[in-house]
Structure 1
Amino acid sequence: MAQTSALATVEVHRRKNDGFVGEMRSAAMKLHTREQAREGEKEVKGPEERSVAKWEPTIDGYLKFLVNSKMVFDTLEKLVQKAAFPCYTEFIDTGLERSDNLAKDLEWFKDQGHAIPEPSDPGTFYAGILEDLSQKDPQAFICHFYNIYFAHSAGGRMIGKKVAEKILDKKQLEFYKWDGELPQLLQNARDKLNKVSEGWTREEKDRCLKETERSFKYSGAILRLILL
């Protein structure tokens, strides 16, 4: 009961303090399909855009997904630490970081006898995009930061659960575990995103929102690896 009350309190706080994050969420939801979310507007074009219940994942494909995801999270976390722009320091140690957890998962797969692949084009290409944006366009970079971490905490968790049911005997990977209460970690990150964006012009905010489509495109290419 206490947990339910805490979640409800965080949700009420979120809705009252949406700020610019509310605009970011709206832009992201429009790029979901109706099979993925009730607010989705996009037509289904690729297999990864269908309901997860219809997926047929493979271990090999899932390992490719995890390795390339780690490449992206490694890059994001390194770039935030390097802080080419001062505002990035707001996002150091948010509790949403995934690299260490992914490393543990890949070690577990290795212990099970699976060969761990090297990162491939979807992950290395996206990492390169993030490197470039972090140096010259903080608004665009923060758009990717938001969409990568928040998508993983929502649809990503659902995907992880369904894939585990189908090919991992329901094992929950470390990728889908957080230290602390996830709703509060997300709210803290929303507050920081709103704080940073308060100083942006309308043009800068619109440039951030426009980057949402590219974020979905590159993340979708990595997600598609699960089905290979």
Structure 2
Amino acid sequence: MTLQAKGFVDEMRMVSMRLHTREQAREGEKKEVKGPQDRSVSKWDPTIVGYLRFLVESKLVYDALECIVDKSDFPYYAELRNTGLERSEQLGRDLEWFKSQGYGIPGPSGPGVNYAFYLQQLSAKDLPAFICHFYNFYFAHTAGGRMIGKTVAEKLLNKKDLECYKWDGELKQILQNLRDKINKVTLGWTREEKNHCLEETERSFKYSGDILRFILSPASTGAHT
């Protein structure tokens, strides 16, 4: 009996797990805990102002990702359209809800702007590196992202379910469909191209981490009026 070869997404996931602590994920391998963001989300003490900044910055990145795959003339990007994981529209509705509740919505700042610009650059010249960011950003939102949403809802929003944590259909199947699409895109890659993609993982975590830290950082803008 021969074992079926696993797709490249499994390699991406294994590298990603090396950058998670055991508190963040059961398979996490990172031993050094540098700050609150490296601990279990359930132990976080989020602020509403910081969370709003997180949503604003995250929407910039989703806007960029969705625009890139929708507008690109490269055929491989077509495989990444309409995955069911798109979040830009949902985040827009959530921000409108916060606004209706009397919260000031902060303008975009450095991290989200920088990340969106970086993704635009990668998409035009470095598909393997772009795929790394695409995979990690979307999949992180369905894993740790959902735990963040649950924690914030319980601690700050009277258990309100935000739109950015709702998907049309069974999430497990949506994720599997995207895994299949990414495996298809990467099927013909050389080992060098695959390694280049994997080497981008740490940078994707750095960009995402800069946005994530807003949740734990109170700010002077965006306060309830």
Instruction: Answer yes or no: same fold by TM over 0.5.
Output: yes
Tell me the amino acid that sits aligned with residue 191 of structure 2: R
Q: Does 1:40 align with 2:28?
A: yes
Q: Deviations over 1:126-153 (max 9, x none)?
A: 1111011001100100110000001101
Q: Does 1:30 align with 2:41?
A: no
Distance between the aligned counterparts of 2:128 and 2:73, measured in 1? 12
- Deviating beyond 3 angstroms after TM superposition, the runs of 4 or more aligned structure 1 residues are none
- Where structure 1 has 5 or more consecutive residues not aligned to the other structure, the ranges are 1-15
- Residue pairs, 1:105-144, within 5 angstroms: 105-144=94-133
Tell me the amino acid that sits aligned with residue 36 of structure 1: Q
Moved more, 182-191 or 47-56: 47-56
Residues 52 and 159, structure 1, Cα contact 8 Å, conserved in 2 = yes
* 2:190 matched residue in structure 1: 201
Distance between the aligned counterparts of 2:193 and 2:40, measured in 1? 34
Percent identity among equivalent residues?
Answer: 69
Tell me the amino acid that sits aligned with residue 158 of structure 2: D
Distance between the aligned counterparts of 1:33 and 1:61, measured in 2? 23
- Residue pairs, 1:174-213, within 5 angstroms: 174-213=163-202
Q: Deviations over 1:73-127 (max 9, x none)?
A: 0000000112253211101111110000000000000000000011111100111
How far apart are residue 47 of structure 1 and its match?
A: 1.7
Q: TM-score, normalised by structure 1?
A: 0.91
Distance between the aligned counterparts of 1:218 and 1:182, measured in 2? 25
Residues 84 and 134, structure 1, Cα contact 8 Å, conserved in 2 = no
1:219 aligned residue (184, 208, 225): 208
For the aligned residue pairs, the C-alpha RMSD in angstroms reads 1.3
Distance between the aligned counterparts of 2:113 and 2:35, measured in 1? 21
Q: Does 1:152 align with 2:160?
A: no
* 1:68 matched residue in structure 2: 57
How far apart are residue 38 of structure 1 and its match?
A: 2.0
Tell me the amino acid that sits aligned with residue 17 of structure 2: M
How far apart are residue 40 of structure 1 and its match?
A: 1.3
Q: Does 1:100 align with 2:100?
A: no
Distance between the aligned counterparts of 2:210 and 2:88, measured in 1? 19
Q: Does 1:83 align with 2:72?
A: yes
Q: Deviations over 1:33-89 (max 9, x none)?
A: 111112212211122111112211111000000000000000000001122532111
Distance between the aligned counterparts of 1:202 and 1:171, measured in 2? 45
Distance between the aligned counterparts of 1:120 and 1:187, measured in 2? 34
Residues 80 and 92, structure 1, Cα contact 8 Å, conserved in 2 = yes
SS in 2 for 1:91: coil
Distance between the aligned counterparts of 1:47 and 1:83, measured in 2? 38
Q: Give aligned pairs, total.
A: 214
- Where structure 2 has 5 or more consecutive residues not aligned to the other structure, the ranges are 218-225
> Judging changes above 3 Å, is the alpha-carbon distance between structure 1 residues 84 and 214 closer, same or farther for their aligned structure 2 residues?
farther
* 2:40 matched residue in structure 1: 51
Residues 91 and 192, structure 1, Cα contact 8 Å, conserved in 2 = yes
> Judging changes above 3 Å, is the alpha-carbon distance between structure 1 residues 160 and 34 closer, same or farther for their aligned structure 2 residues?
same
